[in-house]
Amino acid sequence: MPPSDLPDDAARVLSADKAAVSRALNLVEDRRPEAQTAVTELLAALKDAPKAAGGHRVGLTGPPGVGKSTLTSALARSVRRGGRTVGVVAIDPSSIRSGGSLLGDRARMSFDPSDAGLFVRSLATAGEVGGLAYAANSAVRVLAAAYDMVVIETTGVGQSEIDIMHVADTVVLVVQPGSGDVLQFLKAGIMEIPDILVVNKADQDELAQRAVADLRGALQTARAVGATGGRDAGWEPPIVATSATKGTGIDELIAALDGHRKHLEATLATRRRQGEVQWALDLFTRKHGEHGLSTLGGAAQLQARAERDLDDGETPLSLCEHLSREYVAALGKTP
């Protein structure tokens, strides 16, 4: 759809108008049923954006306290110096009073507010597990239409917090020296998801070297048990040592990111579609549980349905709402 035929706000998003991007993100966070049609129309208008097809969606995850926010800030500034535009979505814990984002991550980021090529937004988890927010997939799609690189920073990582795989092209797992995180991640199976491993706060040389060695050992163990330590055949997850506060290792991280993005060229569209299918099914399962899946025919049937409907222009959010209405109707209740 040429820009002249797009709804006004969608056209403004494509031009990276910050006010329009903010309005679009407000819309996709709106859970009211009456907002879903507008969300679907907006995302449909943005889905073929040139930046969305050619851009890079980078997920940063890791336990609280490893410096993800500071690293996100340093990464975005360095990418901007290289001439690419960047959209950042930081997933924050929710306020127990208002339900909104506590803005903790964004408060620790240092950006130039006058930079038209850089946009930062916080999303509240609103009680969602998995390290991401309900609207994260839609928010990433909005930012991907406007910016060359989208960085998604999760609240943290644990045994169940691997949803970042479903929205990011490249997953970066961040650990810090001397924390014991590597053993915990190996026990939890988290070493299966990262495409790049980062040891941050690596100004502690001896501890950093030990952490890098531990990660190499963890990757070897993951391969030995059939978990390759990455999702792509032929890709060996690199280990990058950084100090976000000092700015060291950031160029190496960008080189690793660009290398993985190039590696994905032939499979990127398939990876993104698989992520959207899983995101839609996860949203539905969180809402209705295993009973919802079985009522509508089981996981395999719903996966085939999701693949078909997403190809026909549905979004994960709208598909989840449609499945929810079908589920309620199947129970003999009024939607």
Residue labelled with tokens 């050992």? 217
Q: How far apart are CA 165 and CA 228, in angstroms?
A: 15
Q: Bigger pLDDT: 304 or 219?
A: 304
Q: Are 320 and 285 in contact (CB under 8 A)?
A: no
Q: How far apart are CA 125 and CA 256, in angstroms?
A: 29
**Span 225-246, average pLDDT:** 80
Instruction: Indicate whether 143 pLDDT > 50.
Output: yes
Question: Which are the contacts of 147, defined by CB distance < 8 A and separation ≥ 6?
Answer: 16, 51, 55, 85, 86, 87, 117, 119
Tell me, what's the pLDDT at 231? 67
Q: Are 217 and 247 in contact (CB under 8 A)?
A: no
Q: Right CATH number for 50-265 from 3.40.50.300, 3.90.580.10, 3.30.870.10, 3.30.70.141?
A: 3.40.50.300
Q: Using a pLDDT cut of 70, give the percent of the chain over it.
A: 82
Q: How far apart are CA 151 and CA 261, in angstroms?
A: 13
**pTM value?**
0.87
Of 2-6, 47-51, 113-117, highest mean pLDDT: 113-117
Contacts 24+ apart (CB under 8 A), 265-269: 267/232, 268/169
Q: Domain ranges in the chain?
A: 50-265, 270-330
Q: Bigger pLDDT: 294 or 4?
A: 294
Tell me, what's the pLDDT at 98? 42
Two tokens, residue 8: 């006004």
DSSP one-letter code for 3: G
pLDDT band at residue 127 under the 50/70/90 scheme: very low
Instruction: Indicate whether 96 pLDDT > 60.
Output: no
pLDDT digits (tens, 9 = 90+) for 160-181: 457 888 899 999 999 888 766 6
Q: Using a pLDDT cut of 90, give the percent of the chain over it.
A: 43
pLDDT band at residue 184 under the 50/70/90 scheme: low
pLDDT digits (tens, 9 = 90+) for 39-93: 888 988 888 888 888 899 999 988 888 899 999 999 999 999 999 999 999 987 5
Q: Bigger pLDDT: 148 or 319?
A: 148
Tell me, what's the pLDDT at 15? 94
* Mean pLDDT estimate for the chain: 83
Tell me, what's the pLDDT at 161? 59
Question: Where is 68: in which H helix or E strand?
Answer: helix 68-81
